[in-house]
Structure 1
Amino acid sequence: MKKKVIAGAIAIGLIPFVGVADVSAKPLPNQVKTVKPMSWACDSPYLVCKTFSGNNKEIKFNYNGSNQDQIRVFVANDGNKAFNFSLYYPNGNILLSSTTLEAGKTIVKTFDVDQTGEYKFYYDNGTGDSNIGFFRVVGL
């Protein structure tokens, strides 16, 4: 009876063969790929959709109106330090005052907008260190 159980276990692979190494942690050559999360893809028509890095920078985008007179803003902090950001109307007034975004966090906000023209997104961490993130705006 014992021989039948062992032979059956070997046949269905429950007992591995000694000395056989069929698993390795070594990476295959040319297998490194960087994939953005799907929510950060820039495949659709956006007002602006880009990654950013550096310090004390701004990103500009044009808004020419939309069906609902709204924009949706996505900001992600892909760095290891918090940064502040603000969003400005074309006339220079503040749409979103200084907001802190912690490392690894994302903010999604929808705004009612009544002005067309060039909007500005300004980001700064206040330390002079580089900011790493993602910014996307869609008209609704």
Structure 2
Amino acid sequence: MKKKFIAGALALGLIPFMGVTDVSAKPLKDQSHPMKSSWACEGTYLECGPFSEEKGDITFNYEGSTKNKIRVFVANDGNKPFEFSIYYPNGKVLQSDKELKPGKTFVKEYTVKQKGEYTFNYDSGTGESVEGFFKVVKL
């Protein structure tokens, strides 16, 4: 009778095993956050990747689409704010001087009919290097 009771209690998990821990306070080895799928440089994109200088230009070529739309993703992965702008191929402004604070992201769709080379321009404004991520896809 005693053996059947203990075996049944073990089967139901009523008697824990000695030395077995279910919960641990030990930190995980890799605590970085997984990259959002929208930030991954996978699939179809016009330009995609990180940037890390005090200022710079990233260009992408848009050859049109059925919807005449693009979606822009910008992330500030550093600890300093930066401003960015996006320019049409003819030099006119598509997105003017948007400040992006550390840890923030910017996602916006634009209707664009001009084909050609667009420019994404970023600048820390302080001469210090910034860390960010830029991706543009056509819709």
Q: Shorter-chain TM-score category?
A: 0.7 to 0.9
Distance 2:82 2:68 in 1: 28
Give the 3 Å change call, closer, same or farther, for CA 14–108 of structure 1 in structure 2.
Answer: same
Give the 3 Å change call, closer, same or farther, for CA 18–69 of structure 1 in structure 2.
Answer: closer
Describe the superposition over 1:15-71 as per-residue Cα deviations: whole angstroms up to 9, x where unpaired: 55666668762767xx78874222212211111111111211111110111111111
Q: Which amino acid aligns with 2:111?
A: D
Residue in 1 that maps onto 2:97: 98
Residue in 2 that maps onto 1:59: 58
How far has the Cα of 1:89 moved from its partner?
Answer: 0.8
Residue in 2 that maps onto 1:79: 78
Q: Which amino acid aligns with 1:71?
A: I
Residue in 1 that maps onto 2:42: 43
- Gap regions ≥5 residues in structure 1: none
Are 1:139 and 2:135 matched, yes or no?
no
Aligned length in residues: 137
Distance 1:76 1:121 in 2: 13
Q: CA RMSD in A?
A: 3.1
Give the 3 Å change call, closer, same or farther, for CA 33–79 of structure 1 in structure 2.
Answer: closer
- Gap regions ≥5 residues in structure 2: none
Distance 2:125 2:13 in 1: 60
Residue in 1 that maps onto 2:115: 116
SS of the counterpart of 1:44? coil
Q: What percent of counterpart residues are identical?
A: 56
Are 1:89 and 2:88 matched, yes or no?
yes
How far has the Cα of 1:106 moved from its partner?
Answer: 1.0
